[in-house]
Amino acid sequence: MAPVFNSLLLSWALTKGVAAWGSLGHATVAYVAQNYLTSDTAAWAQGVLNDTTTSYLANIASWADQYRATTAGKWSAPFHFIDAEDDPPTTCDVDYDRDCGDTGCSISAILNYTQRVSDGRLSVDHTEEALKFLVHIIGDLTQPLHDEAYEVGGNDIAVTFNGYSDNLHSDWDTYMPEQLIGGYSLSDAQSWANSLIEDITSGQYKSMATDWIDGDTTSDPVTTATRWASDANAFVCTVVMPNGSAALQTGDLYPDYYNSVIGTIELQIAKGGYRLGNWLNLIYSSGIAKRDLNAEDQLQSRDRDTLPEPELVSRDIPAASRSLSRAQLAREAMGGSCCSSGKRKHAP
């Protein structure tokens, strides 16, 4: 018993606080999304996840981070980010062909799992896997440093935040959101979500929300997700490091830098939730609902589980493998991971 317990504890320790948007951010995105699901979409998602609690999306929002931290799930690490090889703060831009590596990225993953989740030929487990990836990755996409190759998405920019030595990426994922909210439990996420929903419904985001989802279409997930990634990536130049990275390494990021970015963090979490809710509604209305009309053509899920699955998406892999860019080598040196805790410790 003891070794199992210890390894569970260890994997919890490894994933807690170092997740992409930390667990707080992902759960908040999920709660915001739940608020915007139609009752049909919600019932479908609850069925896929076999969870009828009021936290059905929030409960699985960080599953993909726990999965990538396991040996069996390491292959999925590239799905958490896209390494835009731009030049902040001078130039920010995302180019899907340039930046989505041979092993995939957040955008190709959204394409794959959008198609998979609404394809009735997949097993129950694989349909659930697809939904869990979507709930997580659409959140990751709104974290600006998940759309940036520079210094491995800021993981290699050592900074001090509120007395702790850590790295810029983990401050954006985890420590600045937790500074704002004062915790990372599901109930913290629910109350943060409630205040963001109020901002969307009648507050500071009311006039923006329709733009956040303008043009989103499940018939073209790559174009849609590239727009989301470009939108977040632009903040790397304007908000994350407008004066370059060295300017962030001269003193504590709290409170001045924190105050200059926390509004963007809230905006991006709200946006991620609103987009996720809309995306799942689109998947339901354009895919699931139409498919269910032909229910008699449907295989029973029991039968589905025994059939071979179609390969729905393949990416063109260049015939001759390219030599790796500096950014790709740096990402490899991090084991292909999105996020490191940077061995957080109290600054001397």
Q: Which of 15, 66, 112, 118 binds ligand NAG (CB under 6 A)?
A: 112
Specify whether 304 is catalytic: no
b (16+ CB within 10 A) / e for 44-81: bbeebbebeeebbbbbbbbbbbbbbbeeeeeebbbbbb
140 near Zn ion, rule: CB under 5 A: yes
Binding characters for Zn ion, 59-88, by CB under 5 A (x = yes) = ------x--------------x--------
Kindly tell me which of 24 and 159 has the beta carbon lying closer to ligand NAG: 159
Q: Which residues contact 114 (CB under 8 A, 6 or more apart)?
A: 130, 134, 218, 221, 279, 283
Region near ligand NAG per CB under 6 A, out of 139-147, 154-162, 242-250, 270-278: 242-250
Region of 336 please: left (phi>0), alpha (psi -120 to 50) or beta.
left
Residue 130 one-letter amino acid = A
Q: Using the rule CB under 6 A, give the single segment among 80-88, 241-249, 265-273, 317-325 that binds ligand NAG.
A: 241-249
Residues in contact with Zn ion, counted by CB under 5 A, come to a total of 7
- 5-21 burial code (b ≥16 CB/10 A, e <16): eeeeeeeeeebbbbbbb
The one catalytic residue in 116, 136, 275, 344 is: 136
Q: State how far the alpha carbon of 312 is from the alpha carbons of 119, 120, 196, 214, in Å.
A: 9, 12, 36, 26
Span 47-66, contacts to ligand NAG by CB under 6 A: 50
Q: Which of 83, 140, 147, 166 is catalytic?
A: 140
- 114 touches ligand NAG (CB under 6 A): no
- Pick 171 or 173: Cβ nearer Zn ion: 173
346 labelled catalytic: no
DSSP 297: G
Q: 116, 169, 275, 331: which one is catalytic?
A: 169
**173 near Zn ion, rule: CB under 5 A:** yes
Q: Measured from the CB atom, is 77 or 209 closer to Zn ion?
A: 77
Contact assessment for residue 117 and residue 131, using Cβ atoms and an 8 Å cutoff: yes
Q: Is residue 257 close enough to count as binding ligand NAG by CB under 6 A?
A: yes
Q: Decide if 21 is catalytic.
A: yes
Q: Which of 108, 118, 224, 226 binds ligand NAG (CB under 6 A)?
A: 108
Active site residue: 99, 147, 166, 173, which one?
173
Q: Does 104 bind ligand NAG (CB under 6 A)?
A: yes
Q: Work out whether 260 is an interface residue with ligand NAG (CB under 6 A).
A: yes
- CA 164, 20, 144, 147 torsion: positive or negative? positive
Q: Where are the alpha helices (DSSP H) in the chain?
A: 2-15, 23-36, 39-49, 63-68, 96-99, 106-117, 124-140, 168-170, 176-181, 186-202, 209-212, 221-235, 256-283, 289-293, 301-304, 326-333
Vertex 226 angle, CA 208 and 322, to 5°: 160
Q: Of residues 242, 286, 291, 325, which one binds ligand NAG by CB under 6 A?
A: 242
* Binding track over 288-327 against ligand NAG, x by CB under 6 A: -------------------------x-x------------
Active-site positions read: 21, 26, 65, 68, 80, 136, 140, 146, 169, 173
